[in-house]
Amino acid sequence: MAPPQGSRAPLEFGGPLGAAALMLLLPVTMFHLLLVARSGPARLLGPPPYLPGLEELWSPWALLLCLTWLGLQAALYLLPARKVAEGQELKDKSRLRYPINGFQALVLTALLVGLGVSAGLPLSALPEMLLPLAFAATLTAFIFSLLLYLKALLAPASALAPGGNSGNLIYDFFLGRELNPRICSFDFKYFCELRPGLIGWVLINLALLIQEAELRGSPSLAMWLVNGFQLLYVGDALWYEEAVLTTMDIIHDGFGFMLAFGDLAWVPFTYSLQAQFLLYHPQPLGWPLASFICLINAVGYYIFRGANSQKNTFRKNPSDPRVADLETISTATGRRLLVSGWWGMVRHPNYLGDLIMALAWSLPCGVFHLLPYFYFLYFTALLVHREDRDERQCRQKYGLAWHEYCRRVPYRIVPYVY
């Protein structure tokens, strides 16, 4: 198939070979983590305790549950929103509109789950179903990506993403061809990025907490901490939902297997790894250490939220009194770059805060297993790679001004280290 005109973007993720390898490696890693988390030795780098057969992975009930969950979140997405936000300007100069009702979806889901549990819904049975649920989510993501690929064949050239249109089927399937696939006003990428996966993640965490309480009389302090920290993170993402409209996933990347699998399977089933680990490997944690870990999470959150809010406020209105005094440099595009405040400390202060929080989520699991640190390790790799991609895009967008910014702010993520 010939690449569409004008698509000359350099190949990322190691090209078609890298994309094929990731498509295999990501689900395999997810199942490995699910299996070792419940095994006695819980060794991240050891072999899985056993290889599950298809009868253990495939369950029509799990698929039904997965589709019902997606249907519920889609219905909540369609409810009237407190605000409708406009996205960034597209190639054809138009702007898409997005409902801002993610936090409302989280609260309504919590109410529905609360009602369900009080009516006898066995939420604590969820941890036993993680394997078939993850399989169903992977299958759903694969079929969904296939449909998205086919849908993109009918899309006009102006609707295609800059990256996922190389003409190589595997690469384009992985990266995604269409930038903002929609049916009427329902935006699939925006919906998947924040709702089913993120809310699913905290629901799985809650189910693990409830099962721990049933097993041991009450949830452990470590389990409370992991649940609390991650609920704060998800609540924050949904409260500041509008900010996702300026991320590279929404502005730059197409919607293909990478994001569909990432959003629907990877996030709920691997981001809940610490809580999964704690259910099978209870860890003693005293109040002094717990308080120290809370402090680390608070510092991480303070940097993460401060940096993200500063940039979002500045991008929305550079004369806002909260950012008007910050030093900036001009660029040829007319947009300015912050060179003081959080964005004068390192070029990605929000990543630094996010990484500090990631560490705080693992610490309640103790220091004798590597497994609960998987998220921290994976996330470091993801953010270093993401920073590199963003840097390339900014260099292209801002040219000399970006070089000046790099000269003024030489460190990328960690001051004086990287």
Ligand X SMILES: CC(C)CCC[C@@H](C)[C@H]1CC=C2C3=C(CC[C@@]21C)[C@@]1(C)CC[C@H](O)C[C@@H]1CC3
Cα dihedral: 287, 289, 290, 293 (round 10): 160
Q: Which of residues 19-48 bind ligand X (CB under 6 A)?
A: 26
Check binding of 98 to ligand NDP (CB under 6 A): no
Q: Residue 351: which of ligand NDP, ligand X, none does it interact with, CB under 5 to 8 A by kind?
A: ligand NDP
Number of residue whose CB is nearest ligand NDP: 247
Return the number of the residue (129 or 236) whose C-beta is nearest ligand NDP: 236
Kindly tell me which residue out of 31, 124, 354, 360 binds ligand NDP, with binding defined by CB under 6 A.
354
Q: C-alpha angle with apex 98: 92 to 101, nearest 5 degrees?
A: 175
Does residue 279 bind ligand X (CB under 6 A)? no
Give the DSSP H or E segment for 317. none
Among 172, 178, 187, 193, binds ligand X (CB under 6 A): 193
Q: Which stretch binds ligand X (CB under 6 A): 9-17, 146-154, 175-183, 236-244?
A: 236-244
C-beta of 28 vs 248, nearer to ligand NDP: 248
Q: What angle do CA 382, 383, 386 make, to 5 degrees?
A: 85
Residues 381-410 binding ligand NDP (CB under 6 A) are: 386, 390, 393-394
- Nearer Cβ to ligand X (48/235): 235
State the nearest-atom distance from the C-beta of 246 to ligand NDP, in Å. 6
Determine the Cα angle at 219 with ends 361 and 59, to 5°: 80
C-beta closer to ligand X: residue 244 or 285? 244
CA dist 327 and 336 (Å) reads 10
Choose one: 45-53, 67-75, 78-86, 256-264; the region binding ligand X (CB under 6 A). 256-264
Q: Taken in order 162, 168, 173, 175, is the CA torsion positive or negative?
A: negative
Number of residues that bind ligand NDP (CB under 6 A): 19
Nearer to ligand X, 160 or 265 (CB): 265
Radius of gyration of the chain (CA): 22
DSSP-assigned beta bridge partners for residue 304: none
Nearer to ligand NDP, 304 or 374 (CB): 304
The residue written with tokens 């299958």 in the block is: 139
Residues 38-97 that bind ligand NDP (CB under 6 A): none
Min CB(154)–ligand NDP separation in Å? 29
Which residue, 70 or 267, has its beta carbon nearer to ligand NDP?
Answer: 267
By CB under 6 A, residue 348 contacts ligand NDP: yes
Q: Do 37 and 107 meet the contact criterion of CB atoms below 8 Å apart?
A: no
Q: Which does 172 bind (CB under 5 to 8 A by kind): ligand NDP, ligand X, none?
A: none
H helix or E strand, kind and range, residue 85: strand 84-86
- Amino acid letter at 195? R
**390 in contact with ligand X (CB under 6 A):** no
Q: Which of ligand NDP, ligand X, none lies near 350, with the C-beta cut-off 5 to 8 A by kind?
A: ligand NDP
Q: Is the dihedral of CA 61, 32, 271, 390 positive or negative?
A: negative
CA distance 270 to 272: 5
Q: What is the DSSP letter of 43?
A: -
Stretch that binds ligand NDP, among 173-181, 212-220, 289-297, 350-358 (CB under 6 A): 350-358
Span near ligand NDP by CB under 6 A; candidates 128-136, 145-153, 220-228, 336-344:
336-344
The whole-angstrom separation of Cα 174 and Cα 258 is 5
Length of the chain: 418
DSSP state of 178: B
Residue number with the smallest Cβ distance to ligand X: 262
Residue 305 neighbours by CB under 8 Å, 6+ apart: 236, 353
- C-beta closer to ligand NDP: residue 174 or 301: 301
Among 172, 212, 263, 390, binds ligand X (CB under 6 A): 263
Asked if 267 is part of the footprint of ligand X (rule: CB under 6 A), the reply reads yes
| Closest distance of CB 354 from ligand NDP, Å | 4
- Residue-wise DSSP of 237-263: HHHTGGGGGGSHHHHT---SHHHHHII
For 187, phi and psi rounded to 5 degrees? -95, 110
Give the residue among 270, 96, 106 at the shortest CA–CA distance from 189: 96
Which residues contact ligand X (rule: CB under 6 A)? 26, 193-194, 236-237, 244, 247, 249, 258, 261-263, 266-267
Which residues contact ligand NDP (rule: CB under 6 A)? 246-248, 304, 308, 311, 315, 335, 337-338, 343, 348, 350-351, 354, 386, 390, 393-394
